[in-house]
Copies of this chain bind each other. A is one copy, B any other.
């Protein structure tokens, strides 16, 4: 995509949230790639996952070392082809990359929101994303696309705004978290909440931050993003120095890697945001909301679906994707399903795995063709 830059939408109308509170106004930071066509029918919304943000493709400056987080899939001639689509990606509310969240200022008090920022849900995010669509003049998305927590947003779009998207692409997601998923989130949260530097979420007033809690949270999270096989291939039981030291310093490469992942993450992410994001995952359960069954929830949808999973993903295994596929089939929706063979685990959804990229590209080419045909 070359050089790109973020934009900010200031939303003045209050946003009613699922938790019962209200955001009187908010900022949404977003990026766009490609051009919106005259009928505004070629827009694709990218929803980000737990630690993602609006910077999905291209570079912010010539000095930026890495492009946006999904640059492998977004750009001219790529699966999400910016020669054909107008691609939009925003930082979700509660995030820490520019949209209103714990690290931004509460306009009513002039203070940082910190732990007082309202709890967000997938439904709230979708509602706020609809405001962005309104502002951009997009009545209907050609597709809403996301992996993991982003896939849950795509699914929620299909339920909450059935007429405002043609297609939902739901990758490496689940219709709700399992008890084990919630348990891992709870360990991550407790790591942060009990860090003595957390100060009830007001660490910024104490000129500190719960670094160690964030490191632990990310370490445990990271284990669930990789498959056992991926870790075996990447590290096995390799030692950092070729022999045992019989101490608590790093002995195995995998220990070094995990600590590094945790430390890097802790420097770039806000603890209050991490807590909010894990709770949004826990709360996601459209079946519960619509009376009990996933079929009942999906009965409202109108769009076409592409559901994708990865056979080594044990965080949201293919079985969880098939629950979505089966419920969609049961209510008569058009649904394509692909289970990609890869050892990369949950993280696979971010990687340029040839079969994955090819199938995603093929589906979206058909979406673009459909949009073109409709415009003629």
CB of A228 within 8 A of CB of B259, answer no
Q: Please, how many angstroms separate the alpha-carbon atoms of A275 and B237 in the complex?
A: 19
A141 to chain B, nearest CB (A): 28
Find out whether the CB atom of B179 lies under 8 angstroms from the CB atom of A234: yes
Given contacts A212-B194, A285-B237, contact A247 B180 (CB under 8 A): no
Given A182-B252, A251-B282, A252-B282: A216 and B234 interface contact (C-beta under 8 Å): no
Tell me if A187 is interfacial: C-beta within 8 Å of chain B. Answer: yes
Task: Report if A119 contacts B (CB, 8 A).
Answer: yes
Q: Is the CB of A223 within 8 A of B184?
A: yes
Given known A189-B248, A237-B176, A285-B237, contact A216–B216 (CB-CB < 8 A): yes
A288 to B231 Cα, complex, angstroms:
19
A176-197 contacts to B, CB under 8 A, are 176-180, 182-184, 186-187, 189-191, 193-194, 196
Q: Counting CB contacts under 8 A, is A14 at the interface?
A: no
Q: In the complex, are the beta carbons of B285 and A231 less than 8 A apart?
A: no
A283 and B245 alpha carbons, distance in the complex (Å): 10
- Asked whether, in the complex, the Cβ of A237 is within 8 Å of the Cβ of B179, the reply is yes
- B contact residues around A119 at 8 Å (CB): 246-247
Interface residues of A in 253-312 (CB under 8 A from B): 254-255, 258-259, 275, 279, 282-283, 285, 288
- CB contact list, A147-181 vs B, under 8 A: 176-180
Contact B255–A178 (Cβ < 8 Å): no
How many identical subunits does the complex contain? 2
The residues of B that contact A251 with a CB separation of less than 8 Å are: 282
Q: Which of B179, B193, B248 contacts A235 (CB 8 A)?
A: B179
The answer to whether A88 has its CB under 8 Å from any CB of chain B is no
User: How many residues of A sit at the interface, in one of the four size bands?
Assistant: 35 or more
Contact A219 B190 (CB under 8 A): yes
Name A177's contact: one of B182, B216, B219, B237 (CB within 8 Å): B237
With A237-B176, A237-B177, A247-B119 given, is the CB distance from A231 to B183 under 8 Å? yes
Return chain B residues, CB-CB under 8 Å to A259.
186, 190
In the complex, what distance in Å separates the CA atom of A194 from the CA atom of B262?
13
Contacting pair A216 B244 (CB below 8 A): no
Instruction: Give the residues in chain B near A183, CB-CB below 8 Å.
Output: 219, 223, 231, 254-255, 258
| A288 / chain B contacts, CB cutoff of 8 Å | 237
Residue of B nearest to A176 (CB): B237
Contacts A19-B244, A186-B219, A191-B191 supplied; 18 other A-B pairs, CB < 8 Å: A177-B237, A178-B228, A178-B232, A179-B234, A179-B254, A180-B228, A183-B223, A183-B254, A184-B223, A187-B219, A187-B223, A190-B216, A190-B219, A191-B216, A194-B216, A244-B283, A248-B275, A251-B282
Sample (14) of A-B pairs whose CB atoms are under 8 Å apart? A19-B246, A119-B246, A177-B237, A178-B237, A179-B234, A183-B254, A186-B219, A187-B216, A187-B223, A193-B248, A194-B215, A194-B216, A196-B196, A244-B283
